[in-house]
Amino acid sequence: MEQMRETYIGWLRDAHAMEEQALTMMQGMVNRLEHYPQLRARIEQHIAETEGQESELRRLLDGYGESASMVKDAMGKLTAVGQAMSGMFASDEVVKGSLASYTFEHMEIASYRILIAAAGLLSDTQAVEVFRRCLAEEEAMADWLANHSGEITRQFLTRKEMDMPAGR
């Protein structure tokens, strides 16, 4: 039971680091989307949701007696993903950005499903509720990106064809 709990808390720490990574990624993207107001608005909404997720996960970690520095240690684990997400200054940045965001949302979805299963097994119903709320927000964001990727792609290609600043 103790080992199970430690493994679960490790996953929770990873998820907290993932949300901090998500914030960094989206905050980097959002100001470069002046030609894509719908996408920008949706990302702004998700930044606000993600800030809420980050603080809810931090609150859970605090409740388990986990220190903030241990939280920071987990940050290193997502370096590779972070590099992939932050290096988006290519000319087709908006398309690559929506691709990366869609991928990231699905990593978040998978993470919350794992946490729901683990917290459920440990009978932590309060945590299960938090993870379910987060999961619903990630699924909604992933759905939005899926439903708008065609439009974003067409808008990008059209702007490029007209020789307008297209990438962003």
**Residues in touch with Mg ion (CB under 5 A):** 19, 50, 53, 108
Do the beta carbons of residue 54 and residue 26 sit within 8 Å?
no
Output the smallest distance, CB 134 to Mg ion, in A: 6
Q: Which of 41/157 has CB closer to Mg ion?
A: 41
Q: 17 is written with which tokens?
A: 């680091």
Q: What is the DSSP string of 10-58?
A: HHHHHHHHHHHHHHHHHHHHHTT-TT-HHHHHHHHHHHHHHHHHHHHHH
Residues in contact with Fe ion, shown as a per-residue x/- string from 2 to 41 under the rule CB under 5 A: ----------------------------------------
Q: Which residue, 103 or 160, has its beta carbon nearer to Fe ion?
A: 103
Stretch that binds Fe ion, among 30-38, 64-72, 94-102, 134-142 (CB under 5 A): 134-142
Q: CB of residue 108 vs Fe ion: minimum separation in angstroms?
A: 5
H helices present in the chain, as ranges: 2-30, 37-63, 68-73, 79-86, 93-121, 125-161
Backbone angles phi and psi of 51, in degrees to 5 = -60, -40
Size of the site for Fe ion (CB under 5 A): 2
Which position among 20, 54, 93, 108 is part of the footprint of Fe ion (CB under 5 A)? 108
Chain position carrying tokens 């709320």: 133
Smallest gap, in angstroms, from Cβ of residue 36 to Mg ion?
A: 21
Query: Considering the complex, what minimum distance in angstroms separates the CB of residue 128 from Fe ion?
Result: 19
Q: Which is nearer to Fe ion, 54 or 124 (CB)?
A: 54
Q: Which of 138, 145, 152, 155 binds Fe ion (CB under 5 A)?
A: 138
Q: Rounded to an integer, what distance in angstroms lies between the CA atom of residue 47 and that of residue 4?
A: 32
Collapsing DSSP states into helix, strand and coil, what is residue 75? helix
Q: Which residues bind Fe ion (CB under 5 A)?
A: 108, 138
